[in-house]
Amino acid sequence: MKDSRIKWLILLIPTLTIGLWEYVRHAFLLPYMTMDLGNLLAPFIVLAVTLTLVRGLFARLESSQRALQRERSLSAALEERERLAAELHDGIAQSLFLLAVKLDKLEGETCESARRAVAGELRETVRDVHEDVRQAIARLRLPPASAEHAWVAPLRELLEETAALTGAAAEFRWEIPEDMLGTKEKVELHACLREALVNVRKHARAGRVYVVGERRPGGGFRCAVSDDGAGFAGDPLEAPGRFGLRMVRERASRMGWTFAAERRDGLTVIELAKKGADTNGGELADSAR
């Protein structure tokens, strides 16, 4: 039985009981029972019905609420596991993979100066792994975010961390509703935007950083990370060591999103967009500045 039906029965049974008692008393028992006796018996009859029927309904309602609470707790635990798994994969695991690649490169170098350069890159990557681990531990010590802010708040915090580390001014504008994105979309989009912000932190030397999330007609959206930093030299996806952006492009392709990494009006823009059901494609709007 549904909880809503149980609640209605709990409300209606005492009312129907007293109504039925009054009808029976006046229709059939009035010659045999005084008015005072009928009034005295009415609350005891309602109490008896409450202890038998309504009490059982309360027990079923409480059982249903406990089961719902257990289900919510399990769902929250699974979501937290998924978030931690995504964070480990997108941060630490990718950095460790990059370490392995650079170690292979170091073994293949014969020139001493080239070996020293690769060793410097290895040290930088180890520092990045250490920073990722430190941030992951710090986030685990924080209380869980409420459902309303569980998706957007980490993006804002990541932008603020990037701005604080680079000394840049940050601007965050997010217009995409919480319920517009599925769980898979949130995980993938957060990983892509995180990688874009990490690139700003490592390479851009920017004075301003922007994160924009815009809703598009038909259930589409556009997200972009922009900065006024040094920009790319040539194709950013073909530059050595740019494994992160290539993985962002692959993630976007798997999700059916469009991906762009380019310079626009003096800004470096990493952009992801999902076409809405009623859109005809076309050019994406320029990033808000």
User: Under a CB-based contact definition with an 8 Å cutoff, are residues 42 and 21 in contact?
Assistant: yes
Residue 166 lies in a domain: yes
User: Under a CB-based contact definition with an 8 Å cutoff, are residues 206 and 228 in contact?
Assistant: yes
Mean pLDDT (the chain, rounded) = 78
Residue 213 pLDDT > 80, yes or no?
yes
Residue 209 lies in a domain: yes
Greatest mean pLDDT range, 43-47, 78-82, 123-127, 283-287 = 43-47
Residue 227 lies in a domain: yes
Question: Quick one: pLDDT band at residue 147, thresholds 50, 70, 90?
Answer: very low
Q: Return d(Cα 233, Cα 224) in angstroms, integer.
A: 20
Domain that holds residue 54: 3-70
Question: Same domain for 155 and 275?
Answer: yes
Place of tokens 């509703």: 177
- Helices 3-24 and 55-87: crossing angle in degrees, nearest 10, is 170
> Who wins on pLDDT, 182 or 144?
182
Question: Same domain for 170 and 51?
Answer: no
pTM greater than 0.95: no
Q: Return d(Cα 198, Cα 204) in angstroms, integer.
A: 10
For the four alpha carbons of 75, 77, 82 and 87, in that order, the dihedral sign comes to positive
- Helices 55-87 and 112-141: crossing angle in degrees, nearest 10, is 160
User: Under a CB-based contact definition with an 8 Å cutoff, are residues 281 and 275 in contact?
Assistant: yes
Angle at 76 between CA 147 and CA 80, to 5 degrees: 95
Residue 122 lies in a domain: no
Question: Same domain for 66 and 157?
Answer: no
Q: DSSP labels for 135-202?
A: HHHHHHHSPPPPTTTTTHHHHHHHHHHHHHHHT-EEEEEE---GGGS-HHHHHHHHHHHHHHHHHIII
- What mean pLDDT do residues 130-156 have? 64
Q: Which two tokens stand for residue 72?
A: 């919510």
For the four alpha carbons of 191, 195, 196 and 198, in that order, the dihedral sign comes to positive
**E strand or H helix at 71, and its extent?**
helix 55-87
Q: What is the pLDDT of residues 20-46, one digit of tens each?
A: 988 888 888 888 888 888 888 888 888
Question: Same domain for 156 and 287?
Answer: yes
Residue 42 lies in a domain: yes
- What mean pLDDT do residues 225-241 have? 70
Looking at 54, 70, 86, which one is the last position of a domain? 70
Residue 117 lies in a domain: no
- What mean pLDDT do residues 224-248 have? 72
Question: Quick one: pLDDT band at residue 106, thresholds 50, 70, 90?
Answer: confident
Residue 91 lies in a domain: no
Angle at 102 between CA 101 and CA 105, to 5 degrees: 95
The CATH number linked to 275 is: 3.30.565.10
Q: What is the per-residue pLDDT for 214?
A: 92
- What mean pLDDT do residues 242-261 have? 84
Question: Same domain for 191 and 55?
Answer: no
Domain count, the chain: 2
Question: Which of 18-27, 232-241, 262-271 shows the lowest per-residue confidence on average (mean pLDDT)?
Answer: 232-241
Question: Quick one: pLDDT band at residue 288, thresholds 50, 70, 90?
Answer: very low
Question: Same domain for 66 and 168?
Answer: no
3-state helix, strand, coil in the chain (%, to 5): 65, 15, 20
Question: Quick one: pLDDT band at residue 256, thresholds 50, 70, 90?
Answer: very high
Instruction: Extract the runs of DSSP E, i.e. beta strands, from the chain.
Output: 169-174, 208-216, 220-227, 258-264, 267-274
Question: Same domain for 190 and 286?
Answer: yes
Question: Quick one: pLDDT band at residue 285, thresholds 50, 70, 90?
Answer: very low
Question: Same domain for 157 and 288?
Answer: yes
Residue 82 lies in a domain: no
Looking at 22, 44, 70, which one is the last position of a domain? 70
Looking at 17, 42, 70, which one is the last position of a domain? 70
> Who wins on pLDDT, 191 or 207?
207
